[in-house]
Chains A and B, each alone.
Chain A
Protein backbone atom coordinates (compact mmCIF):
# COMPACT_ATOMS: atom_id res chain seq x y z
CA UNK A 1 0.00 0.00 0.00
CA UNK A 2 2.77 2.41 0.94
CA UNK A 3 4.58 1.32 -2.22
CA UNK A 4 1.63 2.54 -4.28
CA UNK A 5 2.07 6.03 -2.80
CA UNK A 6 5.82 5.83 -2.38
CA UNK A 7 7.01 5.17 -5.92
CA UNK A 8 5.23 8.01 -7.74
CA UNK A 9 6.02 10.44 -4.93
CA UNK A 10 9.72 9.56 -4.87
CA UNK A 11 9.92 9.95 -8.64
CA UNK A 12 8.25 13.35 -8.36
CA UNK A 13 10.55 14.33 -5.51
CA UNK A 14 13.52 13.39 -7.66
CA UNK A 15 12.13 15.50 -10.52
CA UNK A 16 11.61 18.39 -8.13
CA UNK A 17 15.23 18.26 -6.93
CA UNK A 18 16.49 18.00 -10.50
CA UNK A 19 14.43 21.04 -11.52
CA UNK A 20 15.87 23.02 -8.59
CA UNK A 21 19.42 22.06 -9.66
CA UNK A 22 18.67 23.26 -13.20
CA UNK A 23 17.22 26.51 -11.88
CA UNK A 24 20.33 27.09 -9.76
CA UNK A 25 22.74 26.26 -12.58
CA UNK A 26 21.21 28.02 -15.57
CA UNK A 27 21.23 31.75 -16.10
CA UNK A 28 23.38 34.72 -17.12
CA UNK A 29 26.37 32.81 -15.71
CA UNK A 30 26.29 29.02 -15.82
CA UNK A 31 27.07 27.30 -12.56
CA UNK A 32 27.98 23.63 -12.72
CA UNK A 33 26.50 21.05 -10.33
CA UNK A 34 30.01 20.71 -8.88
CA UNK A 35 30.11 24.40 -8.02
CA UNK A 36 26.60 24.17 -6.49
CA UNK A 37 27.85 21.30 -4.32
CA UNK A 38 30.82 23.42 -3.19
CA UNK A 39 28.48 26.30 -2.37
CA UNK A 40 26.26 23.96 -0.36
CA UNK A 41 29.32 22.64 1.50
CA UNK A 42 30.63 26.11 2.23
CA UNK A 43 27.19 27.11 3.45
CA UNK A 44 27.33 24.50 6.19
CA UNK A 45 30.88 25.56 7.06
CA UNK A 46 32.84 23.02 5.01
CA UNK A 47 35.32 24.11 2.35
CA UNK A 48 35.83 27.39 0.57
CA UNK A 49 33.58 27.81 -2.46
CA UNK A 50 33.64 30.55 -5.05
CA UNK A 51 32.31 33.79 -3.54
CA UNK A 52 30.58 34.92 -6.73
CA UNK A 53 28.91 31.55 -7.26
CA UNK A 54 27.90 31.58 -3.64
CA UNK A 55 26.20 34.98 -3.86
CA UNK A 56 24.49 34.05 -7.08
CA UNK A 57 23.16 30.74 -5.76
CA UNK A 58 22.32 31.59 -2.18
CA UNK A 59 21.03 35.12 -2.59
CA UNK A 60 19.56 35.26 -6.08
CA UNK A 61 18.69 31.96 -7.62
CA UNK A 62 17.83 29.75 -4.65
CA UNK A 63 15.23 32.08 -3.07
CA UNK A 64 13.62 32.64 -6.43
CA UNK A 65 13.60 28.93 -7.33
CA UNK A 66 12.17 28.02 -3.94
CA UNK A 67 9.49 30.70 -4.32
CA UNK A 68 8.61 29.33 -7.73
CA UNK A 69 8.40 25.84 -6.28
CA UNK A 70 6.16 26.94 -3.42
CA UNK A 71 3.86 28.98 -5.65
CA UNK A 72 3.52 26.18 -8.20
CA UNK A 73 2.79 23.67 -5.44
CA UNK A 74 0.23 25.92 -3.76
CA UNK A 75 -1.59 26.58 -7.02
CA UNK A 76 -1.71 22.92 -8.01
CA UNK A 77 -2.98 21.80 -4.58
CA UNK A 78 -5.55 24.62 -4.54
CA UNK A 79 -6.69 23.59 -8.01
CA UNK A 80 -7.07 19.95 -6.98
CA UNK A 81 -9.13 21.03 -3.96
CA UNK A 82 -11.38 23.32 -6.00
CA UNK A 83 -11.98 20.49 -8.47
CA UNK A 84 -13.21 18.24 -5.66
CA UNK A 85 -15.26 21.02 -4.08
CA UNK A 86 -17.03 21.87 -7.32
CA UNK A 87 -17.12 18.21 -8.47
CA UNK A 88 -15.70 19.49 -11.73
CA UNK A 89 -12.39 18.13 -13.00
CA UNK A 90 -11.82 21.32 -15.02
CA UNK A 91 -12.11 23.89 -12.22
CA UNK A 92 -9.07 25.99 -11.34
CA UNK A 93 -8.09 28.02 -8.27
CA UNK A 94 -9.02 31.29 -9.95
CA UNK A 95 -12.45 30.14 -11.09
CA UNK A 96 -14.10 31.83 -8.14
CA UNK A 97 -12.68 35.26 -8.94
CA UNK A 98 -9.90 35.18 -6.38
CA UNK A 99 -7.09 36.32 -8.65
CA UNK A 100 -9.20 39.29 -9.77
CA UNK A 101 -9.63 40.44 -6.19
CA UNK A 102 -5.90 40.05 -5.57
CA UNK A 103 -5.05 41.96 -8.75
CA UNK A 104 -7.26 44.89 -7.75
CA UNK A 105 -5.50 45.00 -4.38
CA UNK A 106 -2.05 44.87 -5.92
CA UNK A 107 -2.79 47.40 -8.68
CA UNK A 108 -4.34 49.82 -6.19
CA UNK A 109 -1.18 49.65 -4.09
CA UNK A 110 0.99 50.20 -7.19
CA UNK A 111 -1.18 53.11 -8.30
CA UNK A 112 -0.74 54.61 -4.87
CA UNK A 113 3.03 54.37 -5.37
CA UNK A 114 3.45 51.82 -2.61
CA UNK A 115 6.00 49.04 -2.97
CA UNK A 116 7.06 45.63 -1.77
CA UNK A 117 5.26 44.52 1.34
CA UNK A 118 2.32 46.91 0.81
CA UNK A 119 1.60 45.40 -2.62
CA UNK A 120 1.66 41.90 -1.15
CA UNK A 121 -0.61 42.64 1.77
CA UNK A 122 -2.99 44.62 -0.39
CA UNK A 123 -3.16 41.70 -2.85
CA UNK A 124 -3.78 39.26 -0.02
CA UNK A 125 -6.55 41.46 1.34
CA UNK A 126 -8.14 41.73 -2.10
CA UNK A 127 -8.03 37.95 -2.54
CA UNK A 128 -9.70 37.30 0.79
CA UNK A 129 -12.31 39.99 0.13
CA UNK A 130 -13.18 38.38 -3.19
CA UNK A 131 -13.39 34.95 -1.53
CA UNK A 132 -15.88 36.11 1.07
CA UNK A 133 -17.83 38.11 -1.48
CA UNK A 134 -18.29 35.10 -3.77
CA UNK A 135 -19.07 32.71 -0.96
CA UNK A 136 -21.53 35.10 0.68
CA UNK A 137 -23.33 35.84 -2.59
CA UNK A 138 -23.44 32.19 -3.64
CA UNK A 139 -24.75 31.20 -0.24
CA UNK A 140 -27.63 33.64 -0.63
CA UNK A 141 -30.77 32.74 1.27
CA UNK A 142 -30.49 28.98 0.81
CA UNK A 143 -27.48 26.67 0.76
CA UNK A 144 -24.95 26.93 -2.04
CA UNK A 145 -24.59 24.37 -4.75
CA UNK A 146 -21.46 23.85 -6.86
CA UNK A 147 -23.11 25.28 -9.97
CA UNK A 148 -24.26 28.39 -8.11
CA UNK A 149 -20.83 28.90 -6.59
CA UNK A 150 -19.25 28.50 -10.01
CA UNK A 151 -21.61 30.97 -11.70
CA UNK A 152 -21.18 33.55 -8.95
CA UNK A 153 -17.42 33.17 -9.19
CA UNK A 154 -17.37 33.57 -12.96
CA UNK A 155 -19.54 36.71 -12.84
CA UNK A 156 -17.54 38.27 -10.01
CA UNK A 157 -14.33 37.49 -11.92
CA UNK A 158 -15.75 39.26 -14.97
CA UNK A 159 -16.51 42.27 -12.78
CA UNK A 160 -12.95 42.34 -11.46
CA UNK A 161 -11.70 42.13 -15.04
CA UNK A 162 -13.57 45.30 -15.92
CA UNK A 163 -12.20 47.13 -12.89
CA UNK A 164 -8.66 45.99 -13.76
CA UNK A 165 -8.99 47.38 -17.28
CA UNK A 166 -10.30 50.63 -15.85
CA UNK A 167 -7.37 50.90 -13.46
CA UNK A 168 -4.87 50.16 -16.23
CA UNK A 169 -6.49 52.82 -18.43
CA UNK A 170 -6.18 55.41 -15.67
CA UNK A 171 -2.59 54.54 -14.73
CA UNK A 172 0.35 56.75 -15.61
CA UNK A 173 2.39 55.17 -18.40
CA UNK A 174 5.54 54.64 -16.33
CA UNK A 175 3.74 52.31 -13.92
CA UNK A 176 2.15 50.18 -16.67
CA UNK A 177 4.96 47.65 -17.29
CA UNK A 178 5.17 46.71 -13.60
CA UNK A 179 1.41 46.34 -13.43
CA UNK A 180 1.21 44.20 -16.56
CA UNK A 181 4.02 41.95 -15.32
CA UNK A 182 2.23 41.51 -12.01
CA UNK A 183 -1.01 40.63 -13.80
CA UNK A 184 0.73 37.99 -15.90
CA UNK A 185 2.41 36.49 -12.86
CA UNK A 186 6.04 37.30 -12.25
CA UNK A 187 8.41 35.84 -9.71
CA UNK A 188 10.78 38.78 -9.61
CA UNK A 189 8.41 40.19 -6.98
CA UNK A 190 8.98 37.18 -4.76
CA UNK A 191 11.07 37.89 -1.71
CA UNK A 192 11.56 35.32 1.02
CA UNK A 193 10.34 31.86 -0.07
CA UNK A 194 9.73 30.57 3.46
CA UNK A 195 6.12 31.61 4.21
CA UNK A 196 4.63 29.97 1.06
CA UNK A 197 6.93 26.94 1.43
CA UNK A 198 5.91 26.37 5.03
CA UNK A 199 2.25 26.87 4.13
CA UNK A 200 2.58 24.26 1.38
CA UNK A 201 4.21 21.76 3.72
CA UNK A 202 1.66 22.34 6.49
CA UNK A 203 -1.23 21.98 4.05
CA UNK A 204 0.05 18.66 2.76
CA UNK A 205 0.40 17.30 6.29
CA UNK A 206 -3.12 18.47 7.19
CA UNK A 207 -4.71 17.23 3.96
CA UNK A 208 -3.31 13.69 3.81
CA UNK A 209 -5.59 12.37 6.58
CA UNK A 210 -8.53 14.17 4.90
CA UNK A 211 -7.71 12.58 1.53
CA UNK A 212 -10.09 9.66 1.80
CA UNK A 213 -12.95 11.94 2.87
CA UNK A 214 -12.21 14.01 -0.24
CA UNK A 215 -12.44 10.88 -2.37
CA UNK A 216 -15.88 10.23 -0.92
CA UNK A 217 -16.96 13.86 -1.27
CA UNK A 218 -16.08 13.73 -4.96
CA UNK A 219 -18.93 11.21 -5.35
CA UNK A 220 -21.44 13.88 -4.28
CA UNK A 221 -22.52 15.34 -0.94
CA UNK A 222 -25.38 12.91 -0.27
CA UNK A 223 -23.27 9.84 -0.96
CA UNK A 224 -20.56 11.32 1.25
CA UNK A 225 -23.00 11.97 4.09
CA UNK A 226 -24.34 8.43 3.77
CA UNK A 227 -20.79 7.15 4.16
CA UNK A 228 -20.16 9.08 7.33
CA UNK A 229 -18.54 12.30 6.12
CA UNK A 230 -19.52 15.56 7.83
CA UNK A 231 -20.11 17.24 4.48
CA UNK A 232 -20.69 20.91 5.34
CA UNK A 233 -17.69 21.31 7.67
CA UNK A 234 -15.48 19.53 5.14
CA UNK A 235 -16.68 21.75 2.27
CA UNK A 236 -16.08 24.87 4.33
CA UNK A 237 -12.63 23.60 5.22
CA UNK A 238 -11.74 22.93 1.55
CA UNK A 239 -13.05 26.30 0.47
CA UNK A 240 -11.10 28.19 3.11
CA UNK A 241 -7.88 26.21 2.61
CA UNK A 242 -8.01 26.46 -1.18
CA UNK A 243 -8.65 30.21 -0.98
CA UNK A 244 -5.85 30.72 1.50
CA UNK A 245 -3.40 28.75 -0.66
CA UNK A 246 -4.36 30.65 -3.78
CA UNK A 247 -4.17 33.98 -1.98
CA UNK A 248 -0.69 33.12 -0.70
CA UNK A 249 0.42 32.10 -4.19
CA UNK A 250 -1.04 35.18 -5.89
CA UNK A 251 0.49 37.41 -3.24
CA UNK A 252 3.94 35.93 -3.82
CA UNK A 253 3.99 35.96 -7.60
CA UNK A 254 0.90 37.50 -9.16
CA UNK A 255 -1.75 35.50 -10.94
CA UNK A 256 0.04 32.68 -12.74
CA UNK A 257 -2.48 30.78 -14.81
CA UNK A 258 -3.00 27.14 -15.77
CA UNK A 259 -0.73 25.49 -13.17
CA UNK A 260 -3.71 24.87 -10.88
CA UNK A 261 -5.80 23.58 -13.76
CA UNK A 262 -3.45 21.43 -15.79
CA UNK A 263 -1.28 19.81 -13.10
CA UNK A 264 -4.06 18.07 -11.10
CA UNK A 265 -5.77 17.03 -14.30
CA UNK A 266 -2.63 15.49 -15.79
CA UNK A 267 -1.77 13.75 -12.53
CA UNK A 268 -5.22 12.19 -12.34
CA UNK A 269 -4.75 10.80 -15.83
CA UNK A 270 -1.39 9.31 -14.82
CA UNK A 271 -1.91 8.27 -11.20
CA UNK A 272 -5.65 7.66 -10.76
CA UNK A 273 -8.09 9.55 -8.60
CA UNK A 274 -7.01 8.88 -5.04
CA UNK A 275 -6.69 12.31 -3.41
CA UNK A 276 -4.26 10.93 -0.83
CA UNK A 277 -1.79 10.48 -3.67
CA UNK A 278 -2.95 13.34 -5.90
CA UNK A 279 -2.59 16.13 -3.33
CA UNK A 280 1.08 15.58 -2.39
CA UNK A 281 1.83 14.74 -6.03
CA UNK A 282 0.28 18.09 -7.02
CA UNK A 283 2.51 19.89 -4.54
CA UNK A 284 5.64 18.30 -6.06
CA UNK A 285 4.64 18.40 -9.73
CA UNK A 286 3.18 21.92 -9.59
CA UNK A 287 6.36 23.13 -7.91
CA UNK A 288 8.59 21.38 -10.46
CA UNK A 289 6.63 22.78 -13.39
CA UNK A 290 6.83 26.35 -12.14
CA UNK A 291 10.55 26.13 -11.32
CA UNK A 292 11.22 24.99 -14.89
CA UNK A 293 8.86 27.58 -16.37
CA UNK A 294 10.51 30.34 -14.36
CA UNK A 295 13.97 29.22 -15.45
CA UNK A 296 12.75 29.40 -19.02
CA UNK A 297 11.24 32.84 -18.38
CA UNK A 298 14.56 34.08 -16.99
CA UNK A 299 16.71 32.75 -19.79
CA UNK A 300 14.67 32.70 -23.00
CA UNK A 301 15.24 36.30 -24.05
CA UNK A 302 18.03 37.06 -21.54
CA UNK A 303 19.02 39.57 -20.34
CA UNK A 304 15.33 40.55 -20.55
CA UNK A 305 12.94 38.53 -18.38
CA UNK A 306 9.51 37.29 -19.35
CA UNK A 307 6.72 37.08 -16.80
CA UNK A 308 6.46 33.38 -15.92
CA UNK A 309 2.69 33.49 -16.45
CA UNK A 310 3.33 33.86 -20.18
CA UNK A 311 5.26 30.59 -20.21
CA UNK A 312 2.67 28.66 -18.19
CA UNK A 313 -0.13 30.02 -20.36
CA UNK A 314 1.73 29.16 -23.57
CA UNK A 315 2.26 25.63 -22.27
CA UNK A 316 -1.09 25.38 -20.51
CA UNK A 317 -3.51 26.52 -23.17
CA UNK A 318 -2.64 23.87 -25.77
CA UNK A 319 -2.37 21.15 -23.09
CA UNK A 320 -5.77 22.07 -21.72
CA UNK A 321 -7.40 22.24 -25.13
CA UNK A 322 -5.91 18.87 -26.00
CA UNK A 323 -7.28 17.31 -22.80
CA UNK A 324 -10.68 18.87 -23.42
CA UNK A 325 -10.69 17.67 -27.01
CA UNK A 326 -9.76 14.14 -25.99
CA UNK A 327 -12.25 13.93 -23.12
CA UNK A 328 -15.27 13.60 -25.43
Chain B
Protein backbone atom coordinates (compact mmCIF):
# COMPACT_ATOMS: atom_id res chain seq x y z
CA UNK B 1 0.00 0.00 0.00
CA UNK B 2 1.48 3.33 -0.96
CA UNK B 3 1.05 6.32 1.31
CA UNK B 4 2.29 8.82 -1.27
CA UNK B 5 2.43 8.30 -5.03
CA UNK B 6 2.91 10.34 -8.17
CA UNK B 7 1.33 9.52 -11.50
CA UNK B 8 3.06 10.77 -14.66
CA UNK B 9 4.14 13.77 -12.65
CA UNK B 10 6.10 16.53 -14.36
CA UNK B 11 7.09 19.28 -11.96
CA UNK B 12 6.80 22.92 -12.91
CA UNK B 13 10.33 24.32 -13.07
CA UNK B 14 10.45 27.68 -14.89
CA UNK B 15 12.21 27.53 -18.25
CA UNK B 16 12.30 23.76 -18.46
CA UNK B 17 10.66 21.74 -21.21
CA UNK B 18 9.18 18.43 -20.08
CA UNK B 19 11.32 15.80 -18.43
CA UNK B 20 10.85 12.25 -17.28
CA UNK B 21 7.31 11.69 -15.96
CA UNK B 22 7.67 10.57 -12.37
CA UNK B 23 5.76 7.50 -11.28
CA UNK B 24 6.88 7.17 -7.69
CA UNK B 25 5.33 4.83 -5.17
CA UNK B 26 6.37 5.61 -1.62
CA UNK B 27 5.46 3.11 1.04
CA UNK B 28 5.45 3.33 4.83
CA UNK B 29 8.85 2.57 6.30
CA UNK B 30 10.82 3.70 3.24
CA UNK B 31 13.56 6.32 3.35
CA UNK B 32 13.95 8.14 0.06
CA UNK B 33 16.84 10.41 -0.82
CA UNK B 34 16.42 12.93 -3.64
CA UNK B 35 19.77 13.84 -5.18
CA UNK B 36 20.59 16.35 -7.87
CA UNK B 37 22.69 19.41 -8.59
CA UNK B 38 21.58 22.97 -7.75
CA UNK B 39 18.48 24.01 -9.64
CA UNK B 40 17.49 20.48 -10.62
CA UNK B 41 14.08 21.01 -8.96
CA UNK B 42 14.48 19.06 -5.71
CA UNK B 43 12.64 21.65 -3.63
CA UNK B 44 9.98 22.11 -6.31
CA UNK B 45 9.47 18.34 -6.31
CA UNK B 46 8.98 18.26 -2.54
CA UNK B 47 6.54 21.18 -2.64
CA UNK B 48 4.66 19.50 -5.50
CA UNK B 49 4.45 16.25 -3.55
CA UNK B 50 3.09 18.27 -0.60
CA UNK B 51 0.44 19.83 -2.82
CA UNK B 52 1.85 23.34 -2.28
CA UNK B 53 2.96 23.77 -5.88
CA UNK B 54 0.84 22.84 -8.90
CA UNK B 55 2.52 20.32 -11.22
CA UNK B 56 2.82 21.01 -14.93
CA UNK B 57 1.06 17.72 -15.58
CA UNK B 58 0.23 14.54 -13.74
CA UNK B 59 -1.09 13.90 -10.26
CA UNK B 60 0.01 13.28 -6.69
CA UNK B 61 -2.01 11.04 -4.42
CA UNK B 62 -1.90 10.80 -0.65
CA UNK B 63 -3.45 7.61 0.82
CA UNK B 64 -4.77 6.85 -2.70
CA UNK B 65 -6.72 10.12 -2.87
CA UNK B 66 -5.73 12.94 -5.21
CA UNK B 67 -3.93 15.55 -3.13
CA UNK B 68 -5.45 18.36 -5.20
CA UNK B 69 -8.87 17.35 -3.90
CA UNK B 70 -7.96 17.10 -0.23
CA UNK B 71 -8.36 19.91 2.26
CA UNK B 72 -5.10 21.46 3.47
CA UNK B 73 -5.98 20.67 7.07
CA UNK B 74 -6.42 17.01 6.24
CA UNK B 75 -3.14 16.97 4.29
CA UNK B 76 -1.38 18.59 7.25
CA UNK B 77 -2.52 15.79 9.53
CA UNK B 78 -0.81 13.23 7.28
CA UNK B 79 2.13 15.06 5.75
CA UNK B 80 4.77 17.32 7.25
CA UNK B 81 7.36 19.50 5.54
CA UNK B 82 10.74 20.71 6.76
CA UNK B 83 11.39 23.83 4.70
CA UNK B 84 14.77 24.92 3.44
CA UNK B 85 14.02 28.62 3.99
CA UNK B 86 12.12 29.89 6.94
CA UNK B 87 10.68 33.27 7.84
CA UNK B 88 11.71 34.05 11.36
CA UNK B 89 11.18 37.82 11.10
CA UNK B 90 8.05 37.86 13.23
CA UNK B 91 8.88 37.26 16.89
CA UNK B 92 8.06 33.86 18.43
CA UNK B 93 9.71 31.72 21.06
CA UNK B 94 11.02 28.23 20.37
CA UNK B 95 8.13 26.64 22.28
CA UNK B 96 5.54 28.74 20.43
CA UNK B 97 7.14 27.79 17.11
CA UNK B 98 7.14 24.08 17.89
CA UNK B 99 3.54 24.15 19.18
CA UNK B 100 2.19 25.29 15.81
CA UNK B 101 2.86 21.70 14.74
CA UNK B 102 -0.36 20.84 16.60
CA UNK B 103 -2.39 23.35 14.57
CA UNK B 104 -3.85 20.79 12.11
CA UNK B 105 -5.32 18.75 14.96
CA UNK B 106 -7.03 21.50 16.95
CA UNK B 107 -10.44 23.00 16.27
CA UNK B 108 -10.65 26.81 16.05
CA UNK B 109 -11.90 27.29 19.60
CA UNK B 110 -9.59 24.72 21.15
CA UNK B 111 -6.46 25.65 23.08
CA UNK B 112 -3.41 23.39 23.14
CA UNK B 113 -3.87 20.83 25.88
CA UNK B 114 -1.45 19.01 28.17
CA UNK B 115 -0.88 16.32 25.55
CA UNK B 116 0.09 18.91 22.92
CA UNK B 117 2.57 20.47 25.33
CA UNK B 118 3.95 17.02 26.18
CA UNK B 119 4.52 16.28 22.49
CA UNK B 120 6.18 19.65 21.94
CA UNK B 121 8.46 19.19 24.93
CA UNK B 122 9.37 15.66 23.85
CA UNK B 123 10.23 16.95 20.37
CA UNK B 124 12.39 19.74 21.82
CA UNK B 125 14.15 17.16 23.96
CA UNK B 126 14.64 14.81 21.02
CA UNK B 127 16.22 17.54 18.86
CA UNK B 128 18.41 18.74 21.71
CA UNK B 129 16.87 22.23 21.85
CA UNK B 130 14.91 21.93 25.12
CA UNK B 131 17.28 24.38 26.80
CA UNK B 132 16.26 27.03 24.22
CA UNK B 133 12.53 26.60 24.99
CA UNK B 134 11.85 30.24 25.90
CA UNK B 135 14.33 31.92 23.56
CA UNK B 136 13.14 33.93 20.55
CA UNK B 137 13.77 31.98 17.36
CA UNK B 138 15.35 35.06 15.76
CA UNK B 139 18.16 34.94 18.33
CA UNK B 140 19.17 31.34 17.53
CA UNK B 141 21.99 30.12 15.30
CA UNK B 142 21.26 28.58 11.90
CA UNK B 143 21.73 25.04 13.15
CA UNK B 144 19.53 25.63 16.18
CA UNK B 145 16.77 27.05 13.97
CA UNK B 146 17.06 24.01 11.73
CA UNK B 147 16.58 21.72 14.72
CA UNK B 148 13.59 23.80 15.89
CA UNK B 149 12.06 23.41 12.41
CA UNK B 150 12.51 19.64 12.55
CA UNK B 151 11.08 19.58 16.09
CA UNK B 152 8.01 21.40 14.74
CA UNK B 153 7.39 18.61 12.22
CA UNK B 154 8.06 15.98 14.89
CA UNK B 155 5.35 17.67 16.99
CA UNK B 156 3.09 17.54 13.94
CA UNK B 157 3.69 13.74 13.85
CA UNK B 158 2.92 13.20 10.17
CA UNK B 159 2.80 9.83 8.40
CA UNK B 160 4.87 11.30 5.55
CA UNK B 161 7.98 13.41 6.17
CA UNK B 162 9.13 15.65 3.34
CA UNK B 163 12.43 17.13 4.49
CA UNK B 164 14.27 19.67 2.35
CA UNK B 165 17.92 19.31 3.28
CA UNK B 166 17.23 18.38 6.90
CA UNK B 167 20.95 18.48 7.74
CA UNK B 168 21.41 22.07 6.53
CA UNK B 169 23.50 24.16 8.96
CA UNK B 170 23.99 21.20 11.31
CA UNK B 171 27.29 20.13 12.83
CA UNK B 172 28.45 16.53 12.30
CA UNK B 173 26.96 15.22 15.52
CA UNK B 174 23.56 16.75 14.87
CA UNK B 175 23.62 15.67 11.20
CA UNK B 176 24.00 12.13 12.40
CA UNK B 177 21.35 12.61 15.10
CA UNK B 178 18.82 14.03 12.62
CA UNK B 179 19.42 11.23 10.10
CA UNK B 180 19.01 8.81 13.01
CA UNK B 181 15.68 10.45 13.83
CA UNK B 182 14.56 10.04 10.21
CA UNK B 183 15.53 6.36 10.32
CA UNK B 184 13.64 5.97 13.60
CA UNK B 185 10.55 7.57 12.07
CA UNK B 186 10.76 5.17 9.11
CA UNK B 187 11.15 2.23 11.48
CA UNK B 188 7.90 3.35 13.15
CA UNK B 189 6.17 3.04 9.77
CA UNK B 190 6.43 6.63 8.54
CA UNK B 191 7.55 7.38 4.99
CA UNK B 192 10.51 9.76 4.74
CA UNK B 193 11.55 11.69 1.64
CA UNK B 194 14.63 13.89 1.93
CA UNK B 195 16.41 16.21 -0.45
CA UNK B 196 20.09 15.81 0.27
CA UNK B 197 23.28 17.37 -0.94
CA UNK B 198 25.53 14.96 0.86
CA UNK B 199 25.86 11.75 -1.16
CA UNK B 200 27.39 10.00 1.79
CA UNK B 201 24.44 10.67 4.07
CA UNK B 202 22.18 9.33 1.32
CA UNK B 203 24.37 6.26 0.88
CA UNK B 204 24.34 5.59 4.59
CA UNK B 205 20.78 6.36 5.60
CA UNK B 206 18.46 6.00 2.59
CA UNK B 207 17.08 2.81 1.09
CA UNK B 208 15.66 4.42 -2.05
CA UNK B 209 17.20 7.10 -4.24
CA UNK B 210 15.78 9.47 -6.84
CA UNK B 211 18.30 11.14 -9.13
CA UNK B 212 17.07 14.41 -10.60
CA UNK B 213 18.95 15.87 -13.58
CA UNK B 214 18.93 19.57 -14.48
CA UNK B 215 17.17 18.86 -17.80
CA UNK B 216 14.25 17.22 -15.99
CA UNK B 217 15.29 13.64 -16.59
CA UNK B 218 15.11 11.38 -13.57
CA UNK B 219 15.65 7.82 -12.48
CA UNK B 220 14.84 6.13 -9.23
CA UNK B 221 15.07 2.81 -7.49
CA UNK B 222 16.77 1.04 -4.61
CA UNK B 223 19.92 2.58 -3.23
CA UNK B 224 22.29 -0.09 -4.49
CA UNK B 225 21.02 0.24 -8.04
CA UNK B 226 21.17 4.03 -8.03
CA UNK B 227 24.42 4.90 -6.28
CA UNK B 228 26.60 3.88 -9.21
CA UNK B 229 29.69 6.10 -9.44
CA UNK B 230 29.36 6.66 -13.20
CA UNK B 231 25.72 7.79 -12.86
CA UNK B 232 26.60 10.11 -9.98
CA UNK B 233 29.57 11.57 -11.86
CA UNK B 234 27.21 12.28 -14.74
CA UNK B 235 24.63 13.79 -12.36
CA UNK B 236 27.00 16.20 -10.66
CA UNK B 237 29.48 16.58 -13.56
CA UNK B 238 32.18 15.88 -11.04
CA UNK B 239 34.68 13.05 -10.90
CA UNK B 240 34.33 10.93 -7.79
CA UNK B 241 36.45 8.45 -5.90
CA UNK B 242 34.71 5.70 -3.92
CA UNK B 243 35.96 4.02 -0.79
CA UNK B 244 34.11 1.83 1.64
CA UNK B 245 33.94 2.89 5.28
CA UNK B 246 31.91 1.26 8.02
CA UNK B 247 30.00 -0.88 5.52
CA UNK B 248 28.78 1.97 3.35
CA UNK B 249 30.29 3.55 0.21
CA UNK B 250 31.85 6.99 0.68
CA UNK B 251 32.06 9.30 -2.34
CA UNK B 252 34.82 11.86 -2.46
CA UNK B 253 35.14 14.48 -5.21
CA UNK B 254 38.52 14.44 -6.89
CA UNK B 255 40.30 17.27 -8.63
CA UNK B 256 40.16 17.74 -12.37
> Which chain A residues have a beta carbon within 8 Å of chain B's beta carbons?
1-2, 83-84, 87-89, 208-210, 212-213, 215-216, 218-220, 222-223, 225-230, 268, 272-274, 276
Contacts and interface: CB of A to CB of B under 8 A. Distances in A.
Nearest to B99: A215
B103 A218 contact: no
B90 A87 contact: yes
Interface in B71-116: 71-77, 80-81, 83, 86-93, 96-97, 100-101, 103-104, 106, 108-109, 111-113
Interface string B120-149: 000000000000000000000000000000
A173 B73 CA distance: 60
B103 A213 contact: yes
Contacts of B81: 226
A87 B93 contact: no
Nearest to A211: B108
B100 A227 contact: yes
B96 A222 contact: no
B108 A209 contact: yes
B118 interface: no
A56 to B, nearest CB: 43
Contact of B76 (A2, A219, A222, A226): A226
Nearest to B156: A227
Contacts of A215: 92, 96, 100, 103
B86 A228 contact: no
Contact of A228 (B72, B89, B92, B93): B72
Interface of B: 47, 50, 52, 71-77, 80-81, 83, 86-93, 96-97, 100-101, 103-104, 106, 108-109, 111-113, 156
Nearest to B52: A225
Nearest to A4: B111
A219 B100 contact: yes
B104 A228 contact: yes
Contact of A223 (B83, B91, B113): B83
B87 A219 contact: yes
Nearest to A210: B108
Contact of B108 (A88, A212, A274): A212
6 contacts: A84-B90, A88-B90, A209-B109, A212-B106, A213-B103, A215-B96
A268 B91 contact: yes
A89 B89 CA distance: 8
A235 to B, nearest CB: 14
Contacts, number: 84
A205 B191 CA distance: 40
Contacts of B89: 87-89
A89 B136 CA distance: 14
A244 B156 CA distance: 35
Contact of B113 (A1, A208, A213): A1
Contacts of A218: 90, 92
A165 to B, nearest CB: 34
Contacts of A230: 72
A210 B103 CA distance: 11
Given A228-B73, A273-B93, A222 B100 contact: no
Given A87-B87, A88-B89, A88-B90, 8 more contacts: A83-B90, A219-B86, A226-B52, A227-B103, A227-B156, A228-B104, A272-B93, A272-B96
A272 B72 CA distance: 28
User: Which of A84, A209, A230, A273 has the most CB atoms of chain B within a 10 A radius of its CB?
Assistant: A273
B87 A223 contact: yes
Nearest to A226: B81
A89 B83 CA distance: 22
Contacts of A83: 90
B88 to A, nearest CB: 8
Nearest to B92: A273
A260 B93 CA distance: 23
B76 A227 contact: yes
Contacts of B97: 219
User: Which of B47, B83, B89, B90 has the most CB atoms of chain A within a 10 A radius of its CB?
Assistant: B90
Contacts of A220: 86-87
A287 B106 CA distance: 31
A223 B103 CA distance: 11
3 smallest beta-carbon distances between A and B, as pairs: A228-B76, A220-B87, A209-B108
A265 to B, nearest CB: 10
A143 to B, nearest CB: 13
A218 B89 CA distance: 9
